[in-house]
Amino acid sequence: HQVDEGRKVKIYKELAMKDMLTGLYNRNSYDEWVKEKQQADGTLIVTFDLNNLKHCNDTMGHAMGDSYIKNAAEIISRVFGSHGRCYRIGGDEFCVVIQNRGGFDLEERLKELELEQQEFNQSHTIPKIQIAYGFAGFDAEKDMDFEAARSRADVKMYEKKRALKGGR
């Protein structure tokens, strides 16, 4: 019975830390990380937001919306997962925290993200994936805490979101 209990504890822990839809770490896990870790200067945060999810849910149904979220999460995870921790922190909001930036080329990863989206959109008719992103490095001089860095990343991400939607 102890083996079963041990397995149950592991499963419950996973349920508490992982997002069931995408398999990425969830908001609890992100908040926990922010509380526990010493944010080192230069720790990079990349934030993501999915364009047109509401439209997708409203016109094609929530199952299609879930599919959009899952597919976008897979792309984010494929591109950034080996470099940092990927989180789904809200409905269509994601972020990646990259602590050790040795050999990490953000520009290359963002190009890869764009390419993965294009390839996905060419081979799937609907829903088209459009991921807006922004990024910021934690800077102890500027940022009171890691959330301040995430806010700076979000500002860039929303600029990108507007640009993707055609300046609206």
| pLDDT tens readout for residues 100-142 | 777 789 999 999 999 999 999 999 877 889 999 999 999 989 8
What's the pLDDT tens digit per position in 53-100? 999 999 999 999 999 999 999 999 999 999 999 999 999 999 999 987
10 Å CB burial of residue 12 (0-12, 13-18, 19+) is exposed
pLDDT at 6 over 90: no
SS3 90: coil
% helix / strand / coil in the chain, to the nearest 5? Answer: 55, 15, 30
Q: Which residue, among 146, 34, 22, has the nearest Cα to 90 in the 3D structure?
A: 22
pTM, entire model: 0.89
